[in-house]
Structure 1
Amino acid sequence: MAKVVGADDNPLRTNQDHTQNSSVPHGLKAVVPHEQDPTSSKPARSRLWPDSPTKMLLSTFLILATSLALNKYSLISAADQASRANVIDLGYAKYLGNRTTTWPNTVSYLGLPYAEPPVGDRRFRAPLPLDTTRLARESHGKVIDARSYPDLCIQGALSRSDHGGAGSEDCLKVNVYTPAGVEANAKLPVLVYIHGGGYVFGNPSNWPFEHWIQQSPNVVIVSVYYRLSGFGFLATPEFSSGQLGDLNAGFLDQVEALRWVQKHISKFGGDPNKVTINGESAGGASIELHLIANAGKEDLFHGAIAQSVYRTPLPTPEQQQPLFDALAEKTGCGTGDLAAKMACLRSASVSALAIAQDNATATLRGYHAFHPVVDKKVLTGFPTRLIQNGVFRRVPLVVGATTNETVAGGSSIAAAAQAFAPSVSDEGVNRLEQAYPSSAFASEDLRQQTVTGDFSLKCARTIMASAWNEARVNTWTYRYNQPDPAGGSTATAHAAENYMMFRGTHPGINGTTTFSTFNPSEIAFSEELIAYWLSFVRTLNPNTHKLDRAPAWPLYSVAKRNRVVLNEAPDGSDVDTISGSHGEIESEEEVQRCSVVAGLVDQMQN
């Protein structure tokens, strides 16, 4: 459970201000009336403790009064305006948010639970809605410290060269970023961000949003933690009944987070009727799944941004049975009927399960990784097929991909396609090879990159945008064309935009990341991207509040197929007035190739 602020915790400190008055007796921290900006040349205001007998009595009284105030949260709120501005009351719990001198326009409420902990018998089951009565009882009406990021969800391994396992099973939390001083029921538009990582790894703290609010303090942003790898996507046909477990638990976590937003975001100043969902890679694929989940009927969001949609196959539970068996065996739970296996798996330690899931997944592709499956309840079919049939939620959409991305390796088109989607037949491979003839490419490497990038990621842009346009729903598409400076390549690879959008983030294994310092050109491009995205969040149009220097972003249509190319300004440009972004037309060649890819939906299963 999150820490409750008490006598040993000064509610006025931020994560960047841990200064403690050395004269304060041990165990009691001074109440600092104003946060000191570490970049300021002005000295911080200090409190000197007197040493005369009379003043010592007064000092003791002040210490006791301070201690009482720190334990009586209504007194803290009445005594200090800064603290009151950073405490949110959800009715069942009060949370203290983090506001720093670096991002003074933003208050971050980190690690708020949105569902019951998925532990014990709840492991491998759909999330239970948050028991607000329990939380109210456990917090005793006190303020809960929400100034630090929570434990991330248990991580899976990227490959045999690293090991997952970092994090906590009790991880169904959200981070909420709000403008400082926002009033409840301010009806600000809301962005809900779902992170990527192949459904196997990912940590929302690697993609922070304080600077988004700092740039545009008129939105509320939520980032979601959801169960990953075997903890979130263990599948066997017998889960279909829901008696011994639930299919797609990790995806259902995301759904429960969206329901929590509907219930509670107004307390943060957000409008539950103006929610846009956004994600990249597996996060982008999650956006696609939310658009087709339950035939798009549940009213949880009103706009969508899908970046680099990861078109991994959605296998059947039967196709995932060997992976289930491998996990059970490697955990020491491979004997007995399913009830016995599940009892064993639920009693296994987190570390044993984490090691077993990493040993069970030979690759992140095909049926060898824990991914969403077609459950015939929430996810009733392959996304491409449902979208082609018009079975999706009709909300405005932004969808795009990077120029050179691919996540499907292989020595040939056949090897890559059948490793990524094991149900692809030899006839299906022939159709791909004919659509991407060697004569059309300068090298076999470029041919391989193009075909694998199209079927694993990029064709979602054409498939989704065409269907949206045919349904007369506004959609905008993009090609991101700026290499990641930390990526070690001149190509614009998968996830390159994350560097610019999230302060130079460069994630590593087990939820770690490093951040880079931007130069002026990178700052300008980052601001341009964020302005487009938040303009869409605010008005469902990326143009309304774009930067003046940024080009107009045309609507996509099957007739014109316009899109924007997102680029940093050329070297030596006046970045305050010149943008490197520009418009282009999607080529007919690209459209035809993606038509072939879409025609393989029953083999690709995506």
Structure 2
Amino acid sequence: MRTRANYVLTRLYFASYDRWSSEASSYLTSAATWMLKSEDLKPTNDDTSSFSPGASRNIMIRHRSALKAGKHQEKVTVHSQKAEPSWLSTNKQRISMLLILAACAAFLQYHFTVSIKNDAAVVDLGYAKYLGNQTTTWPNVVSYLGLPYAEPPVGNQRFRSPLPLNMTRVADEATGQIIDARSYPEFCIQGKLGRGDHGGAGSEDCLKVNVYTPVGVKSNAKLPVLVYIHGGGYVFGNPANWPFEHWIQQSPNVVIVSVYYRLDSLGFLATPEFADGSVGDFNAGFWDQIEALRWVQKHIGKFGGDPTKVTINGESAGGSSIELHLVARSGKEKLFRGAIAQSVFRTPLPTPQQQEPLFSALATQVGCRSANVTDTMACLRSASISALAIAQDNVTEALSGYHAFRPVIDKNVFVDFPTRLIASGAFKNVPLIVGATSNETLANGADIASAARSFFPSLTDDGVQAIEEAYPISSFASEELRQETATGDISVRCARSILASAWDAAHVDVWTYRYNQPDGTSHSPAAAHAAENYMMFRGTHTGVNGTTTFFALNPSEVTFSEELIAYWLSFVRELDPNSHKLARSPIWGQYTSEKRNRIVLNAASDRSNVIKIGGSHVELGDDELERCRVAASLVEQMQN
């Protein structure tokens, strides 16, 4: 009896290790029969009806249902109408073994409905082999989750630009074993959102990427690549909240990468003393993104991707990051060939001198303030993450979340304000999609002057007057709408018109859009900031501290989502959103200074499931462009 049980358990161990569901099921299903055949565990004829292999199979099914319902702690019990037989009372330990096997069967059956064994899901990067995740939900996709692209930014590397991944270290730590990459990693340390939450969730050891590939893709497939940079105001964000399996399932001819990068003070601490690099580095979080793109260039070919066909994409602070990559000084290094910038959050790009008060406040909060910056940095590097998280929360709360740690003009990668660089033509001439939602911001002041000062405290009286004149009350139905238009233009929407005009002047292909579909969880008809994420990422609705809730899309929303994804991936594949759009979707005309085409992305109100183009295809009027030129002229006043 013991020999049989040990044999079964041994086979189960290796079957589960190999994730081979058929073998695991085979041994588990036969376990009860084998054990019952044992001479010293044999029921009488009268007792077989109350406990049989068939009954044990029913137990497994019930337990599997409990697991699927999320009741992982539910007990497995056997109900019998008969009194306990004598043979059972003397062999309870062995029956317990049988029940354990039944429970194992239930677990493994449930587990294997989620994950599929596939030898092709192992990728060999030369320095390490990774096992990806393939599920029955997305059977045409393999997801490699949490692959490191740089050295952990801990200890002396805190507040430093990332070091390239030490492949020898990774290989040594793997000791020849396949590394499990089937679960999302810990996200980067989160900052405070101002929703009654506290920052600090996550891990410092977070410089990872998730790679989504078509199942069975060959290393020489040379598929186009999308690299996604998440938003969150440079304060929060977790790539697991914006998954891409359904994108690959819909279009299995691309490879997609999502990037984790350092946030808040850990990613964007700045003081003038960083200038020579002796005590710290500017824009560490942005350099994380660059290092991730370099990792893609080196290794994406092993996943079937083509490093010469990379498109970068981001929304909000991710869209701001895309703009920064377009103007960043990078020498001859070519990391991408196209860009998609969604709701470009016009993050102020202050100087290190302007960020000095935040540096001092953080050091004081942690108890590290010293006249010697070297001592201050040594103290900050030795401080606990909880102490840093509390300190950056306090600093952010004192200045409001908008005026926090963010990229700075370092005279190295960023030599001037992006608006000026774009106006002068100092940007990467790659095809571009750029757009925003219809209702990016809400009114937050008694009048337009107070709203403008709330967003940009350094505005002079002349600057406020210029904004008031650019947005005369006579042009709006209410003061509230006037405020929403002004703040939405200046903080987000003007990036669309400024970038599009510059790209057209440089004769580079550019497409613009206005996203006009409300978030499915909203009770408002407005298409607010980040509303497109709900449709593009399976009903995601992000919360605090790296969390999200996924809401099921209705059939009309699924159709709309598929059309959006098709436009995006068509651009990734051919640098044109129309080449592989869905047949039912309209042609998305390029933006030009003459026509100023802009597509309105909107689920069909008549439920015909066809995206409608707003009006006559010409939505960008002279008023908006002129207003945005006023905003561009005030760029120096909008940094703090």
TM-score for both structures, normalised by structure 2? 0.83
> Would the aligned equivalents of 2:343 and 2:437 in 1 still touch at CA under 8 Å?
yes
Give the 3-state SS of the residue equivalent to 1:319 in structure 2.
helix
Q: Distance in 2 between the 1:153 and 1:516 partners?
A: 24
Residues 366, 423 of structure 1: CA spacing in aligned structure 2 closer, same or farther, 3 A cutoff? Answer: farther
Q: Distance in 2 between the 1:584 and 1:35 partners?
A: 56
Q: Distance in 2 between the 1:168 and 1:498 partners?
A: 25
Q: Distance in 2 between the 1:373 and 1:537 partners?
A: 30
> Would the aligned equivalents of 1:366 and 1:420 in 2 still touch at CA under 8 Å?
no
Q: 2:143 aligns with which of 108, 111, 114?
A: 108
Which residue number in structure 1 is paired with residue 543 of structure 2? 508
Q: Deviations over 1:239-280 (max 9, x none)?
A: 111110000000000000000000000000000000000000
Gaps of 5+ in 1: 1-20, 37-42, 54-80
Give the Å deviation of 1:572. 3.8
Residues 407, 396 of structure 1: CA spacing in aligned structure 2 closer, same or farther, 3 A cutoff? Answer: farther
- The answer to whether residue 210 in structure 2 is matched with residue 175 in structure 1 is yes
Which residue number in structure 2 is paired with residue 591 of structure 1? 625
Q: 2:612 aligns with which of 552, 575, 580?
A: 580
- Higher-Rg structure is 2
Residues 410, 538 of structure 1: CA spacing in aligned structure 2 closer, same or farther, 3 A cutoff? Answer: same
1:509-588 aligned within 5 A: 509-573=544-608, 575=609, 578-582=610-614, 583-588=617-622
- The answer to whether residue 155 in structure 2 is matched with residue 120 in structure 1 is yes
Q: Distance in 1 between the 2:339 and 2:526 partners?
A: 27
Q: 1:353 aligns with which of 362, 383, 388?
A: 388
1:40-51 aligned within 5 A: 47-49=29-31, 50-51=34-35
Residues 408, 463 of structure 1: CA spacing in aligned structure 2 closer, same or farther, 3 A cutoff? Answer: farther
> Would the aligned equivalents of 2:443 and 2:481 in 1 still touch at CA under 8 Å?
no
Same amino acid, percent of matched pairs = 67
Which residue number in structure 1 is paired with residue 494 of structure 2? 459
Aligned residue type for 2:13? L
> Would the aligned equivalents of 1:315 and 1:373 in 2 still touch at CA under 8 Å?
yes
Give the 3-state SS of the residue equivalent to 2:15 in structure 1.
coil
- The answer to whether residue 15 in structure 2 is matched with residue 30 in structure 1 is yes
Q: Distance in 2 between the 1:438 and 1:22 partners?
A: 82
Give the Å deviation of 1:571. 4.0
1:397-436 aligned within 5 A: 397-406=432-441, 409-436=444-471
Q: Distance in 2 between the 1:98 and 1:162 partners?
A: 32
Give the Å deviation of 1:570. 1.7
1:362-381 aligned within 5 A: 362=397, 368-381=403-416
Of Structure 1 and Structure 2, which has the larger fraction of its residues in helix?
2
Greater shift, 188-197 or 21-30, is seen at 21-30
Aligned residue type for 1:377? N
Q: Distance in 2 between the 1:483 and 1:386 partners?
A: 34
Q: Deviations over 1:166-225 (max 9, x none)?
A: 000000000000000000021000000000000000000000000000000000000000
Which residue number in structure 2 is paired with residue 158 of structure 1? 193
Q: Give the length in aligned residue pairs.
A: 551
- The answer to whether residue 638 in structure 2 is matched with residue 604 in structure 1 is yes
> Would the aligned equivalents of 2:556 and 2:607 in 1 still touch at CA under 8 Å?
no
Which residue number in structure 2 is paired with residue 233 of structure 1? 268
Q: 1:472 aligns with which of 507, 514, 530?
A: 507
Q: Deviations over 1:20-79 (max 9, x none)?
A: x9963599263477659xxxxxx99965244579xxxxxxxxxxxxxxxxxxxxxxxxxx
Q: Distance in 2 between the 1:412 and 1:243 partners?
A: 46
TM-score for both structures, normalised by structure 1? 0.87
Question: How large is the Cα RMSD of the aligned pairs?
Answer: 2.3
Q: Distance in 1 between the 2:504 and 2:560 partners?
A: 29
Which residue number in structure 2 is paired with residue 310 of structure 1? 345
Greater shift, 290-299 or 327-336, is seen at 290-299
Q: Distance in 2 between the 1:327 and 1:468 partners?
A: 40
Q: Distance in 1 between the 2:470 and 2:189 partners?
A: 41
Give the Å deviation of 1:237. 0.4
Q: Deviations over 1:552-597 (max 9, x none)?
A: 0000011111110000012442x3xx33345333112111111211
Give the 3-state SS of the residue equivalent to 1:170 in structure 2.
coil
> Would the aligned equivalents of 1:297 and 1:393 in 2 still touch at CA under 8 Å?
no
Q: Distance in 2 between the 1:456 and 1:408 partners?
A: 13
Q: Distance in 2 between the 1:572 and 1:393 partners?
A: 40
> Would the aligned equivalents of 1:279 and 1:306 in 2 still touch at CA under 8 Å?
yes
Q: Distance in 2 between the 1:515 and 1:452 partners?
A: 30
> Would the aligned equivalents of 1:165 and 1:355 in 2 still touch at CA under 8 Å?
yes
Aligned residue type for 2:15? A
Give the Å deviation of 1:423. 2.9
Residues 572, 553 of structure 1: CA spacing in aligned structure 2 closer, same or farther, 3 A cutoff? Answer: closer
- The answer to whether residue 298 in structure 2 is matched with residue 298 in structure 1 is no
Q: Distance in 2 between the 1:348 and 1:198 partners?
A: 24
Which residue number in structure 1 is paired with residue 244 of structure 2? 209
Residues 597, 146 of structure 1: CA spacing in aligned structure 2 closer, same or farther, 3 A cutoff? Answer: same
